[in-house]
Homo-oligomer: A and B are copies of this chain.
Amino acid sequence: MDQAPHRVTIREVAAHAGLSISTVSRALTGSRAVLPELVRRAQDSASELGYRADTVGRSLRTQRTGTFGLVVPDLTNPFFPALVQALEHAARSRGLSILIADTGNDPEVETAAMNTLLDRRVDALLVSPVDLEASREGLISAATTVPVLQIDRVIDEGIPFVRVDQEAPVKALVERMIATGRRHLAFIGQDPRIATSREREVAFAQAMSERFAGGPLRSVTGGTSPQSGRAAAETLLSRWPETDGVVCANDLIAVGVLEHVRARLAGRRIAVSGFDDTLMAQVLELTSVRQPVQQLADLAIAAAAHPDRSTLLATRAVVASEVVFRRSTD
């Protein structure tokens, strides 16, 4: 049936072309000048025999695998598939591959996964760390072995990162809610150990203190799901019944808030916004902050793929995001 399908080696190509192994290698990779005539002969033999270089042998020799390890906390959170897709495309367009690990929001799994990837000699590690605190040690330790780039979630400024500015969009959301007549705004975060959620919370607190100096800071945190959003909304509105605008750290939470509002507070005109501009936000006409995923990915891969690693090690990029206003904040 599926007979041991012998892979052609460079040695065979060399023999077939009547050239030395190294000439074939140089002709095919272009690493050194080779007579055009011989290049053709090498290429012809290669394609005739169906030769494709074995990257394992190459990696052992060059000490580069052309592979990045990508560590994400949870593919169930729709932001991450979008990020993975963008990263994978950016990587593949440069001939690079991605080993993926989903840590299920568990810092221990995260550290273990990073070590597995290091064993596979990835050229760099792209990580969205799970936990502001618990992820730190493993991340720092990994960074002593391989270039590490924090993507989206930043937990240590000493390690390279590509992140999104959270301050401007949060401020824009607050301004919009105020402009449409709201005065009692609140924030619902995910787990506060999640870097981006924490940043959004801080940005909210700051924007509010600028507009309502001395006013109460209405803020609760929960999980990352519509259910926990509903629960958080309930807590929030019983604690601060005057609330008329809610900035949520995530679309999933915002959806839960919308549900709660529509079910229990049908008459109230409460503004709601989310983050990530997921499909659900579009369908439910939820105002949300669109993440520049493509840009994030391009920057990350460009940095990680750069020939001399000092570039990666110097990367500290912050990109802007854009608020998409919809009916939920009218």
| Interface locus among A79-87, A210-218, A233-241 | A79-87
Instruction: Name A54's closest neighbour in chain B (CB-CB).
Output: B121
Residues of B within 8 A of A121 (CB): 54-56
Give how many copies assemble into the complex: 2
Residues of B within 8 A of A113 (CB): 92
CA distance A105 to B85 in the complex (A): 12
**Chain A residues bordering chain B, tally (CB within 8 A):** 58
Return the CB mask of A112-152 against B: 1 if under 8 Å, else 0. Answer: 01011111110000000000000000000001111100000
Q: Is the CB of B52 within 8 A of A119?
A: yes
A residues at B contact (CB < 8 Å):
1-2, 5, 7, 52-57, 59-60, 65, 67, 74-76, 78, 80-82, 84-85, 88-89, 92, 95, 97-102, 104, 113, 115-121, 143-147, 226, 252, 255, 259, 279-280, 282-284, 309, 313
* 28 sample A-B contacts, Cβ–Cβ < 8 Å, listed by A number: A1-B313, A2-B147, A2-B309, A5-B145, A53-B119, A55-B119, A56-B60, A67-B99, A67-B120, A75-B84, A75-B85, A78-B78, A80-B81, A81-B81, A84-B102, A85-B102, A88-B100, A89-B104, A92-B116, A95-B116, A97-B101, A97-B116, A97-B120, A98-B99, A98-B100, A99-B100, A100-B100, A259-B283
